[in-house]
Structure 1
Amino acid sequence: MELPVAWSVLLVVAGLWNLVVWPAFLRRVAKDPRARDAAGRATRFLTVHVVLVVVSLALGLAVATAGVLTLVG
């Protein structure tokens, strides 16, 4: 696949943005009092946000990889 260099760079930047921002968000969510119940178990609040972060990281990695591959090849 061929893309203009500017689009490839945009894909890399967007992917890296996701890989940098989402872990910081998850750390904040994990510290939130709504993340654990009185017994210390994970709540739905935490579970939903963990799924959101995992999916976003996977997509970020895929986008960054696509950007790098279009730059190289």
Structure 2
Amino acid sequence: MTTLLAVLLFLNAAFNVLVWPTFYRRVAKDPRARDANGRATRFLTVHIVLIAVALTLAAASVVAGIAALVG
């Protein structure tokens, strides 16, 4: 059971690491990301926070997966 848990945690981490950086590139290119002066808008700031949280959870998933395997 712990092996299954570890595999699920690693898959979760891999998904987040693969998907969120691509999503960030799309959000950063969106016209809503910057105002007329080139400053970041709330749209960009909120998405950066969401992406940072997702990547932090991915790192925690890797640590938890390793802990599950080690015992």
TM-score, normalising length: structure 1: 0.88
1:69 aligned partner: 67
Q: Aligned partners of 1:64 and 1:15: how far apart in 2?
A: 6
- Is the CA contact (8 Å cut-off) linking 1:16 and 1:61 kept in structure 2? no
Identical residues among aligned pairs (%): 58
Deviations 1:19-59 (A, max 9, x none): 11111101100000000011100000000000000011001
Deviation at 1:15, TM superposition (A): 1.2
Equivalent pairs, count = 71
Instruction: Provide the aligned C-alpha RMSD in A.
Output: 1.1
Equivalent AA in structure 1 for residue 21 of structure 2 = P
Equivalent AA in structure 1 for residue 17 of structure 2 = L
Structure 2 counterpart SS, 1:41: coil
Gaps of 5+ in 1: none
Gaps of 5+ in 2: none
Q: Where does structure 1 differ by over 6 angstroms across 4 or more consecutive aligned residues?
A: none
1:27 aligned partner: 25
